[in-house]
Structure 1
Amino acid sequence: MKSALYAGAAAVALVALAGASALAQTRDQIRIVGSSTVFPYTQAVAEQFSGVTGMAAPVVESTGTGGGMQIFCGGVGPAHPDITGASRAMTQSEYDSCLASGVDSIT
């Protein structure tokens, strides 16, 4: 059961990474920031993404959930990460900060 859960999570993450690859076209790699709790899983999926697509593995930074949200919500474009990982739900103030900075593709 546990391995099926991890496989399902990896499949969902691969789909998310594939979508983010379009956003990172002005960079050589997708950039992901966020939770240190989910970092090992994010790193594993990033490596799988590279193996499946032949693209460079995404750069994954362990910044903590709050730090990742702050960096992610800083804006859109090559100077900002494409994805943030979190071990909790986004707060309303983080969501509002994202919208104020033009980050409106939040799922």
Structure 2
Amino acid sequence: MKKLLQFVLLDAGLRCKDPGARVNEITSLLPADIRPDEETGIVCFYLRPEMTKGDYERIIPVHSHLVEQKFFDYVDKRAKAGLPLFYEPGRAEGGDRNVDKP
């Protein structure tokens, strides 16, 4: 799981770099922020207003390479565990660095 997380972080960062997403925007994503666009059905990253520098929602399509790498399986696992996509809350703020990971 650790290697998958490292890969997903790197790949998501690279895939979002071209549209201009910032690292903090990507690492702040929650599973609910990954969903299909209502008009097109294309699955996108929804960057919430509080995450963006301009305080407005930004929408970035999920790159097909992430789909091929089973990114949505990872999103589902994090959602079922009630965890953000790219960080472990138990490790934040000086928490236990040996927390169990999903």
State TM-score, norm by structure 2: 0.30
